[in-house]
Amino acid sequence: MADWKPKPNLTVDFKRLSLSAEEGFVLSRLDGHTSASQLPALTGLPPERLQAILARLLAQGALQPAPTEPSAPPPVAAPPPELPTLDALPEELSSDSEAPESSEEPSEPEPSEDESAEAQGNYRKLFETRLHPLTEDERKARAHGADEPELSAFCFDPVPGVIKAVMENPRTGLAHARLIVRHHRNPVGLEAVCARAAFAADGGVRRWLVRNPQLPSGLFRRLWSNRRLMELHKTTVDRDIPEGTRRTARELLRQRFNTGPSEEKVELILNTEGRTLASLTGLAVDGKTAALLCGRTYRSPMLIQNIARWSAAPPALIAHLLKQEAVRRQPQLRLLLQRHPNAPADARRGER
């Protein structure tokens, strides 16, 4: 039997089901693409406990029936007799560009906001009512060996020492790392999560980490210094990201633009229609970048206009743009290019 991929039954109102915090946690991690054999690594729960939880969720109608034997889920721990080759993997598991190239399980899509908010509310309530009253030393000791649902509840602890203890727990997985970087508000705790390379490379961890107002600029620089220029640009314009992090991203973007590959520079200029050039004032491009830009046909008036206002635009690029059909048809674009300080001398004479 092929490995079962549990999928939530969206026709059911989960709020009306009698789900424990542990069952709610497992349900929030199911996306219909992650197989049952991958869930132990994703959730940190033992296979036998996961099998029992899946059976209870199935009995309550929270899951869609398995393709075969719908009355009970297949054993969680047993992998398929023959593992598929990389070419045979479904597209959903191979398309995440943020996933690290390692034996770690791929980063799964985020659960729906409704399910995630409900599950997180249960964990926060558990922490506030049962765990927070304990002393800090008691919480550290307990977090080292905690199991679900307490392990997820400890992810809401504001003390970095407790977060470090959670990171040392062998049951801690990606789901816990994402909870911590989303809700923890101490730079020391965030550093503890990102000390694990597999967590730091996960797309979900990075997505919530960059939105955390306590993300240290040094940590951001370490994690994003080798990212593509286009990704850095998206960080600079994302309104959900705190201004301090966006400012650091703008500084890093300028540094990387000086040293980054020519192909990435061209990708950045073209994909933003030149809007990013306003933040790159004073930075010139190398000969290869200029050659790549001159090898294209330009039809976007916005892109041509932004390049015309870029003081560091190479002379060859200005001359190339003056030959474009879009420029010949629009006198205002031609005039902008003719007034550029790097415009060819004959073009300036044409203006006069």
Tell me the DSSP string of 26-90: HHHT--SSS-GGGHHHHH---HHHHHHHHHHHHHTT-BPPPSS-TTSPPPSSPPPSSPPPGGGS-
Contact present, 341 and 315 (Cβ < 8 Å): no
In this predicted structure, what is the pLDDT of residue 38?
A: 75
Mean pLDDT value of segment 207-236: 94
Tokens 């560009």 belong to 97
Concatenating the DSSP letter of every residue in 247-271 gives HHHHHHHHHHHHHS-HHHHHHHHHH
Q: 69-73, 107-111, 146-150 — which one is most confidently predicted on average?
A: 146-150
Burial bucket for residue 129 (CB in 10 Å: 0-12, 13-18, 19+): exposed
What is the distance between the alpha carbons of residues 104 and 96, in angstroms, rounded to a whole number? 13
Contacts of 42 (CB under 8 A, 6+ apart): 29, 34, 105, 108, 173, 174, 175
Give the phi and the psi of residue 42 in degrees, each rounded to 5: -75, -40
**Comparing 70-74, 92-96, 171-175, which segment has the lowest mean pLDDT?**
92-96
What is the distance between the alpha carbons of residues 279 and 159, in angstroms, rounded to a whole number? 38
Q: What is the pLDDT confidence band of residue 80, given thresholds at 50, 70 and 90?
A: very low
The percentage of residues in the chain with a pLDDT greater than 70, rounded to a whole number, is 82
Question: What are the boundaries of each domain within the chain?
Answer: 113-215, 287-352
Contacts of 113 (CB under 8 A, 6+ apart): none
In this predicted structure, what is the pLDDT of residue 112?
A: 41
Tokens 């080798």 belong to 226
Q: What is the DSSP letter of 276?
A: G
Structure tokens at 287: 């000969």
Structure tokens at 343: 């415009």
Q: What is the DSSP letter of 108?
A: P
**pLDDT greater than 70 at residue 197:** yes
Burial bucket for residue 160 (CB in 10 Å: 0-12, 13-18, 19+): middle
Give the phi and the psi of residue 283 in degrees, each rounded to 5: -100, 130
Entry pTM: 0.63
Q: What is the pLDDT confidence band of residue 332, given thresholds at 50, 70 and 90?
A: very high
**303/32: higher pLDDT:** 303
Tens digit of each residue's pLDDT (9 = 90 or more) over 304-323: 999 999 999 999 999 999 99
**Shortest CA distance to 57 belongs to which of 23, 29, 12, 32?**
23
Mean pLDDT, all residues of the chain: 82
**208/101: higher pLDDT:** 208
Contact present, 222 and 200 (Cβ < 8 Å): no
**pLDDT greater than 80 at residue 352:** no
Tens digit of each residue's pLDDT (9 = 90 or more) over 120-144: 888 999 999 999 999 999 999 999 9
Q: 91-105, 238-252, 272-286 — which one is most confidently predicted on average?
A: 238-252
User: Which amino acid is located at 312 in the chain?
Assistant: A
In this predicted structure, what is the pLDDT of residue 58?
A: 85
| 3 state DSSP class of 8 | strand
Number of neighbouring beta carbons within 10 Å of residue 21: 17
What is the separation, in whole angstroms, between the first and last Cα of the chain? 79
What is the distance between the alpha carbons of residues 73 and 135, in angstroms, rounded to a whole number? 41
